[in-house]
Each structure stands twice: as C-alpha cells, then as structure tokens.
Amino acid sequence: MTATALREQAIKHDQKALESFERCDTDGALSQWANGLLAAEARLQADIEENGGKALFPALFDLAGNLVRAKRMNGQWGTYWALLDERGRITGEWFTPSKSHDARRARKTDAAKGYYIGYVMAPAKAEIKGGSYASCNAVAVRTDDGYSEDVEIVDNGQHNEFTATLGRHYAIWGGLI
C-alpha cells in the first residue's frame, strides 16, 4: 500500500473507534482499543513507506566505526547484542550495553568494552507487539532478521552529539523515538 492509502486507513480506524465510543461509551472499549492500535500501525507503516521501506534502528559498531556483525536481542536481564559469524549464526559471544541514562557515561562504558551503539536505516515493517493488551504498541520491526550489511549508516557511534541528541534511551530499551 502507498503511504497515502495507509494514512487513509488509519483515519478510518480512528473514525471507527470514535463511532464506537459515541454509540456505546465504554462498552465498546475493546473495539476502540483495537481500532486505535490498527490506526497507529497504519500510520507507522505509512512513515516507513515514505522512508523507502526503512526505519531507524540501533546498531553495534567497533571503536573504528565499523558495523559489527551482531543482532540485538532481549533476554532475562534486558537488551544485549549477540555476535554473529560470517553465516549470520550466533557465535555464543555477546555484548551488553550500559544501562546508564546518562548518554556520555553510557558511551564511555560501552567504549571501554570495545563498542559503540550507533544507528542505521534498515528494512522494516510495522507490527503490533506486546505481552498483553495493556502493553501493545505499533513498533517498527527489522525485516532483515536483525542484521544486514545492506543498511544506511546514520551514526556509527563516534559522533557524541548526534547519539546524545537522538537519545540513549532508544539504544537501551528500543521502540520509537
């Protein structure tokens, strides 16, 4: 679908949610919630389409600014980077980024471990994700299985100002800016 068609679809879902609320107040809460999520997903997909089918994602770089073969994953203790071999298989080595909310401190800690968190534009699609109805959101999801060398590097982590401006929170927890 085109971005324009997706935005029209989002408007229709918003209208359905509003009509449901006006018709039955809170009795239609589930359909209002669902239509709101579908509208958010359509708007996000429209943004992705307008960006050439790509969205912004954190990526792992070495101290020389080279993209590292790594896939961002979530585990029991939070987000980490699984290092990959030439075939894209997980090697068993990983990097856990600093969880500091102070961008400068986090960058310094990550550099001491040999890595920077930067950002790339990678192929993406919009999906609704969440563990329960209360935590569902429309989010951009990479369609390249989490790593590809065919990405546009926006920031290789060496540019302190850009990374701090973009927000360290994105690199640690994920989601939209």
- Tens digits of per-residue pLDDT, 112-156? 999 999 989 999 999 999 878 788 999 999 999 999 999 999 888
Backbone angles phi, psi at 70, to 5 degrees: -155, 150
- Considering the domain architecture, whether residues 87 and 10 belong to the same structural domain is answered as no
Query: What pLDDT was estimated at residue 29?
Result: 78
- Considering the domain architecture, whether residues 141 and 166 belong to the same structural domain is answered as yes
- Considering the domain architecture, whether residues 61 and 87 belong to the same structural domain is answered as yes
Query: What pLDDT was estimated at residue 13?
Result: 87
Tally of domains in the chain: 2
Range of the domain at 34: 3-50
Average pLDDT over residues 3-7: 89
**Across the chain, what does the average pLDDT equal?**
85
- Considering the domain architecture, whether residues 8 and 79 belong to the same structural domain is answered as no
Query: What pLDDT was estimated at residue 174?
Result: 42
- Considering the domain architecture, whether residues 38 and 88 belong to the same structural domain is answered as no
Query: What pLDDT was estimated at residue 171?
Result: 42
The β-bridge relationship of strands 70-75 and 152-155 is unpaired
- Enter the pTM of the model: 0.79
pLDDT at residue 57 greater than cutoff 70? yes
Secondary element (H or E) of residue 165: helix 160-166
Contact 125, 140 (CB under 8 A): yes
Query: What pLDDT was estimated at residue 26?
Result: 61
Cα–Cα distance for residue pair 171/125, rounded to 1 Å: 19
- Considering the domain architecture, whether residues 24 and 62 belong to the same structural domain is answered as no
- Considering the domain architecture, whether residues 7 and 83 belong to the same structural domain is answered as no
- Considering the domain architecture, whether residues 31 and 62 belong to the same structural domain is answered as no
Highest mean pLDDT among 24-28, 103-107, 137-141, 169-173: 137-141
Confidence label for 169 from pLDDT (cuts 50, 70 and 90): very low
Average pLDDT over residues 44-66: 94
Query: What pLDDT was estimated at residue 139?
Result: 93
Instruction: Write the DSSP symbol of residue 68.
Output: P
- Considering the domain architecture, whether residues 81 and 163 belong to the same structural domain is answered as yes
- Considering the domain architecture, whether residues 45 and 58 belong to the same structural domain is answered as no
- Considering the domain architecture, whether residues 82 and 159 belong to the same structural domain is answered as yes
Secondary element (H or E) of residue 44: helix 29-50
Residue 114 Cα to chain centre, angstroms? 23
Contact 155, 118 (CB under 8 A): yes
- Considering the domain architecture, whether residues 112 and 143 belong to the same structural domain is answered as yes
- Region of residue 157 (left: phi > 0; alpha: psi -120 to 50; beta: else): left
Which of 50, 69, 88 terminates a domain? The answer is: 50
Positive or negative torsion for Cα 36, 119, 88, 83? negative
Cα–Cα distance for residue pair 50/120, rounded to 1 Å: 16
